[in-house]
Amino acid sequence: MHKTLHALAIKTALMGLTLAFFGNAIAQNYPTKPIRLVVPFTPGGVTDTSGRLIAEQLSKRLGQQVIVDNKPGASGNIGTQQVATAEPDGYTLLLGFDGTLVINPHVFSKTGFDTLKDFSPIGKIGDAVLILVAHPNFAAKTLKDVIALSKTQTGGLSYGTSGTGGTPHIAGELLRQKTGANLVHVPYKGGGQALTDVLGGNIPLVYTAIAGAIAHVKSGKLIPIAVSSSKRASSLPDVSTFMENGIADFEASSWVGLLAPTKTPRHIITRINTELNLVLNDPEVRERLMGMGITPSASTPESFGSELARDLSKYGTVVKAAGIRAE
């Protein structure tokens, strides 16, 4: 009897070692084919801009091409839902944005996904500073002037964003609530489209991430009004914050990160997280992200997941108070 138990214990141990060996082998072999990175917005916005840089760098580190696949629509819900229902094999990833993952669930009656149940967080890429910009021919050049001018407009002043319920929209609503500014939200299918319209003079103002607007601000094609971070953005140090303009406790920023469908094997999540953090710690990559207005933020899957849960709760309160709904 003892010999039988001893033999069984040895057999079990050997099976464990075999499984561990094959698990390590699979982890080392991944990936064996190109990876699709779904960006749920049109090209040109902060998610797309930072996503393409990360995809380029991960392609080098993983030895397989990471292909950016833009799937815009419904304020990011369409592309995000596609990843939620994708095969959890590590070959379909999501470039996650706070607006889609922690605001949309409160704004839309149905998104097609559950942020905490349908995704496995991989890691955060960074935080993006938001900026309010205007067309050069717009009469107001300062935040004080924008607010004052809006109050003289019967129909209000229009400001564009990447979509209903996104962080820029929430920030615009907070500005309206705190100052009484007569602002009218105009949602687009992505930050790139909103910027195109303000550059063309079709809309006076756009609230967006610095990532998409910085080149136009530096070239003089757009006038910066203010940034909504607690401190001035290092990429645009001459642009004042909303708080410097007298609006107390006004801070709103966006984040972007990588996620996979839930049930994606842990060794794949760990592998991508490790490579992502190495990319984010590369001085050249950090400089490029900072130039876009994004502060790199290496993290663990667990810490990123905790931030998702916190923000999901926090923005629920803000959205309810603002009465923002989208269908």
Question: Distance between CA 97 and CA 289 in Å, rounded?
Answer: 16
Residue 148 has a pLDDT of 97
What is the amino acid identity at position 305? Answer: G
Residue 314 has a pLDDT of 81
Model-level pTM? 0.74
Question: Distance between CA 207 and CA 131 in Å, rounded?
Answer: 6
Instruction: Return averaged pLDDT per consecutive 10 residues of the chain, 327 residues in all.
Output: 55 54 60 97 82 97 97 92 98 94 92 97 92 96 97 95 85 90 92 93 94 92 94 90 94 90 98 98 93 87 95 84 80
Residue 27 has a pLDDT of 53
Which residues have C-beta within 8 Å of that of residue 269, sequence separation ≥ 6?
Answer: 120, 122, 260, 301
DSSP 236-271: STTSPBTTTTT-TT---EEEEEEEEETT--HHHHHH
Which residues have C-beta within 8 Å of that of residue 208, sequence separation ≥ 6?
Answer: 45, 46, 130, 131, 133, 160, 161, 162, 168, 191, 194, 195
Residue with tokens 């991960």: 58
Provide the 10 A C-beta neighbour count for residue 140.
Answer: 18
Residue 23 has a pLDDT of 47
Residue 18 has a pLDDT of 52
Helices of type H across the chain: 2-29, 46-62, 77-84, 98, 104-107, 115-118, 143-150, 167-179, 191-199, 210-219, 266-280, 283-292, 301-322
Q: Across-strand partners of 183? A: 157
Answer whether 138's CB lies under 8 Å from 184's CB. no
Which residues make up the CATH 3.40.190.10 domain(s) of the chain? 129-227
In CATH, what number does 129-227 get?
A: 3.40.190.10
In CATH, what number does 33-128+254-322 get?
A: 3.40.190.150
Which residues make up the CATH 3.40.190.150 domain(s) of the chain? 33-128+254-322
